[in-house]
A and B are shown apart, each in its own frame.
Chain A
Amino acid sequence: MSTDVRSELKKPKKKKVLLMGKSGSGKSSMRSIIFSNYIARDTRRLGATIDVDLSHVKFLGNLTLNLWDCGGQEAFMENYLSQQRVHVFSNVGVLIYVFDIESRDVDRDMATYVSIISALTQYSPTAKVYVLIHKMDLITPHAREAVFVDRVRLVRQKTSEFIQGAGYTGELDLIPFATSIWDQSLYKAWASIIHDLVPNLSVIESQLGSLGVLIEAEELLLFERTSFLVVSNWTSEEGQNNPTGDRQERISNILKHFKQSISRFTGTPRNAEQFTLMEHKAGSRFSMFACKFTTNTYLMVILPPGEARFNSAKLNCQIARESFKFLDGPVTPGQSYN
């Protein structure tokens, strides 16, 4: 057992995730909040990243993110583009490019961005590109939408100009997000980045769906244990009427903040798991519980009211744990879970 598991473990190719952008645009802050359980206020203490800060983030047990947090000073950037070009840009799964919305020299930012893209298309043409327009909290709320749309249009325009100019034939789709470390928008962006990297996603989704139908839930959210990003979710027909569109990110944000409070209360490290069960019955409106599910995940279940329904759903989720074990194990392609 142990030997073939070990060989299987090696199998999934380590995805390289490049985190790039101008210096001071908030790359390391993001990384610390999402993966090291910092709170937004603490990121003020972070110093500048020198060269590349490599980190291996374990996610869901079977996925190791190979996160390259690249320093943003121009000297470093030039270095990546010249001497370390092959080293940095080969075998990239995802490029996350961060734009500081407050930056004054937009033209220069774009020029750097285009040269990064050209290096990327040269060595990893299949890589996905996420563009994060960051520090949106500095824009007045009603202007946010317009500023974001405007900036995204500019980025797209530059990208297509480059593609035409270089005669590049491959497909390059970029996915834009507006983010800020002071609200839940950061979780939205990262959840979507992670979402695409998770193996076995279709299996997780279909299994979650059948569990949801079985226990008459309104919504199921599956969180990763330390980062509290939403890995997968399922919503019933009725649950889709919920007017709160950003609820996944909001719940991530809420629970993650509460984890900090618990860690202060119990004196345990911030990365440790803080709670095993949380239940809330809101009278005749709804009930919900969030529990430890597999070793690396938490499951949150939103149910219609009803004591009997609540208890049986809780038991059923305990039982379902067994068939979700594969979340923690290594990827085994071809194996079916029915």
Chain B
Amino acid sequence: MSSRLRGLDAFDPDGSGEQPCETSSSLAQQALTRVYEQDQRLRKNGSRVSDQPPDLSSKGKPRLLLMGQRRSGKSSISSVVFHKLPPSETLFLESTARIQKDTMPSFMDFQVWDFPGQIDIFDNPTFDIDAMFGEIGALIWVIDAQDDYLEAVARLNVTILNLQRTYPNIKIEVFIHKVDGLSDDYKLDIQRDITIRIQDELCDHGFENAPVTFHLTSIYNHSIFEAFSKVIQKLIPRLGILEAMLTNLCRTCRFEKAYLFDVLSKIYIATDSEPADMASYEICSDYIDVIIDVTEVYGSWPRTQKYREALEGPPWNQKIEDQVASGCAESCMVLSDGNKPIILREVDKYLALVAIMKEDSYDKMPLVNMNVEVVVQGVKEFFEITKPK
């Protein structure tokens, strides 16, 4: 697959890779193809047993399990975050009847499993519990905050207690979901209530410090991406080193905030130690969108050989590759307000570094670029070393 920030690569051996998001077609068109695909998928899998064991090829990839009551919004979450479905169209998603497994071609190839809400896996002996939770990364439990959540909390407790005995390393993330319609006070009340209920129950059974984390989420703003970012960050081994690198970069270049983004899902996998704020995350992720869109318009068609020769001829007399400073995508934007530039630098096919700089640092761009280059090399090395063998 070609890089989305740089456009089609001339040396791409399999340029035919699928594009996960066609901005060229209109929204309605996309929705139609999606419905068609979903339909096809259902038809294809309809005959098969719903609870097949996971295929062997998926071994070794960290797994995110999305579980929760029916209608709590699990499939909506996975379509919005990983398939770029506009939130308003998730109303038309069909009820999930079997476990949907998605492999994300991403910097660390994780899988997302979307569970049907109506079945209780611990009651059902046909499920292979060990195959399911054996190599799991994180279990995401979705609770609908706009509904009565007592039953959901009770089921979550049962699940946690079951899992804690056999797989104590599973990270349990609770998404208190659909909070967009609630007032701020009420949100916090609900969060507190749910937290207390779960922790009390766990304490009663002797688990004092179970790894359970709570997030307030909604698909209508960026909070769902933020929550997923936190979850993914827990799965990265030695995240501290990445963060230290970014913090260092922020200090040397006087950046306000730096993020390391997964370009496809727009989840950030690391940020510097400054407290995160939603506004800067939003602007950075929107900026990635702009760059992807512009690249799709101008970077997706091959130039002719003759044109290339003309460009390499006088007065430059250099190969195109030597004329550019960096083979990766580099981008920068200066806002009118306070001259606060945003910079973007591609790390590899999946990752990009996006940072917000302080006032007037645009004048020092060459210096900044050099520093960024060093950090990018560091990040590449980091992933080379921590890659699972």
- Give me the interface of A with B, judged by CB distance under 8 Å: 137, 140-141, 180, 182-183, 216, 218-219, 238, 241-244, 247, 250-251, 254-255, 258, 261-262, 264-266, 268, 272-286, 288, 302, 304-309
- Number of residues on chain B facing chain A (CB within 8 A): 59
Known: A141-B28, A262-B283. A308 touches B316 (CB 8 A): yes
Q: How far is the CB of B116 from chain A (nearest CB, A)?
A: 30
The 17 listed contacts between A and B (C-beta, < 8 Å) are A137-B28, A141-B32, A218-B298, A238-B303, A241-B304, A244-B297, A244-B298, A247-B297, A251-B297, A258-B287, A266-B335, A275-B335, A277-B362, A280-B294, A280-B332, A285-B299, A286-B7
- Give bound CA distance, A241 to B327, whole Å: 24
Other A-B pairs, 16, CB within 8 Å; known A273-B336, A276-B339, A280-B331: A141-B29, A180-B26, A216-B311, A241-B303, A244-B297, A251-B297, A258-B286, A265-B335, A266-B340, A277-B332, A278-B332, A281-B329, A283-B7, A283-B326, A305-B324, A307-B323
Answer whether residue B320 sits at the interface, using C-beta atoms and an 8 A cutoff.
yes
On whether A309 and B323 interact (CB within 8 A), knowing A141-B28, A265-B279, A280-B331, the answer reads: yes
- B300 lies within 8 A of chain A by Cβ: yes
Whether the pair A141, B25 counts as a contact (CB closer than 8 A) is: yes
Flag whether B193 is at the interface (Cβ < 8 A). no
User: Which A residue's beta carbon lies closest to that of B331?
Assistant: A280
- In the complex, what residue of chain B is closest to A141 when comparing beta carbons? B29
CB distance from B6 to the nearest CB of A (A): 5
What residues on B are CB-neighbors of A265 within 8 Å? Answer: 279-280, 282-283, 335
Contact A279 B332 (CB under 8 A): yes
Question: Which residues of chain A come closer than 8 Å to B339, judged between CB atoms?
Answer: 276
Are the CB atoms of A308 and B299 closer together than 8 Å?
A: no
Contact partner of A275 (CB less than 8 A), chosen from B26, B295, B324, B336, is: B336
User: Which B residues are in CB contact (< 8 Å) with A140?
Assistant: 28, 32
B330 at interface (Cβ–Cβ under 8 A)?
yes
Q: Which residues of B contact A262 (CB under 8 A)?
A: 283, 335
Query: Does B336 contact A137, Cβ atoms closer than 8 Å?
Result: no
Question: Distance in Å from the Cβ of B147 to the closest Cβ of chain A?
Answer: 26
Checking A276, A280, A305 against B334 with a beta-carbon cut-off of 8 angstroms, the contacting residue is A276
Min CB gap A243→B, angstroms: 5
CB pair A306–B334 under 8 Å, yes or no, is no
B301 interfacial contact with A, CB 8 Å: yes
Specify which chain A residues have a CB less than 8 angstroms from the CB of B243 in the assembled complex.
none
Q: Verify B5–A282 contact, CB threshold 8 A.
A: yes
Query: In this assembly, does B163 line the interface, its C-beta being within 8 Å of a C-beta of chain A?
Result: no
Say how far B28's CB is from chain A's closest CB, in angstroms: 5
Question: C-beta contact mask, B275-299 vs A, less than 8 Å → 1, else 0?
Answer: 0000110110011011101111111
Chain B contacts for A309, CB-based, 8 A: 316, 323
Pair B333/A278 contact, Cβ less than 8 Å: yes
The chain A residue sitting closest to B287, CB to CB, is A258
**With the chains together, A327 CA to B346 CA distance in Å?**
37
B321: chain A residues at CB < 8 Å are: 284
Given the interface contacts A241-B301, A247-B298, A251-B294, does A279 sit within 8 Å of B316 by beta carbon? no
Does B210 sit within 8 A of A, measured CB to CB?
no
Residues in B with CB closer than 8 Å to A307 are 323-325
Does B92 belong to the interface (CB within 8 Å)? no
Interface centre among B24, B296, B334, by most chain A C-beta atoms within 10 angstroms, is B334
In the complex, what residue of chain A is closest to B25 when comparing beta carbons? A141
**Chain A residues near B8 (CB, 8 Å)?**
285
B298 lies within 8 A of A242 (CB): yes
In the complex, which residues of chain A have a beta carbon less than 8 angstroms from the beta carbon of B362? Answer: 277
With A and B bound together, what is the CA distance between A95 and B362 in angstroms?
A: 46
Residues of B within 8 A of A261 (CB): 282-283, 286-287
B306: nearest chain-A partner, CB-CB: A238
Indicate if the CB atoms of A278 and B334 lie closer than 8 Å. Answer: yes
Given A137-B27, A254-B294: A284 and B334 within 8 A (CB)?
A: no
B49 interface residue per 8 A CB criterion? no
| Residues of chain B with a CB closer than 8 A to A255's CB | 290
CA distance A216 to B325 in the complex (A): 18
Query: Do B295 and A282 touch across chains, with their CB atoms under 8 A apart?
Result: yes
State A273–B309 Cα separation when bound (angstroms): 40
Q: What A residues does B295 contact at CB under 8 A?
A: 280, 282, 285
For A185, give the chain B residue with the smallest CB separation: B26
Q: Are the CB atoms of A286 and B336 closer together than 8 Å?
A: no
List B contacts of A268 (CB < 8 A). 336-337
Query: Smallest CB–CB gap between B25 and chain A, Å?
Result: 7
Residues in B neighbouring A306, C-beta threshold 8 A: 311, 316, 320, 323-324
Instruction: Identify A254's interface contact among B279, B293, B316, CB under 8 A.
Output: B293
Q: Is B328 an interface residue (CB 8 A)?
A: yes
By a CB distance below 8 angstroms, the chain B residues around A241 are 301, 303-304
Interface status of B10 (Cβ within 8 A of chain A): yes
Quick one: which of B25, B286, B299 contacts A282, CB cutoff 8 A? B299
Please give me the residue from chain A that is nearest to B337 by CB atom.
Answer: A266
Q: In the bound complex, what is the Cα–Cα distance between A309 and B314 (angstroms)? A: 12
B324 and A283 form a contact (CB under 8 A): yes
Decide if A243 touches B283 in the complex (CB within 8 Å). Answer: no
In angstroms, Cα B340 to Cα A262, docked, is 11
A140 to B26, CA, bound (A): 11
Name the A residues within 8 Å of B324 (CB-CB).
Answer: 281, 283-284, 305-307
| Contacting residues, chain B, for A305 (C-beta < 8 A) | 320, 323-324
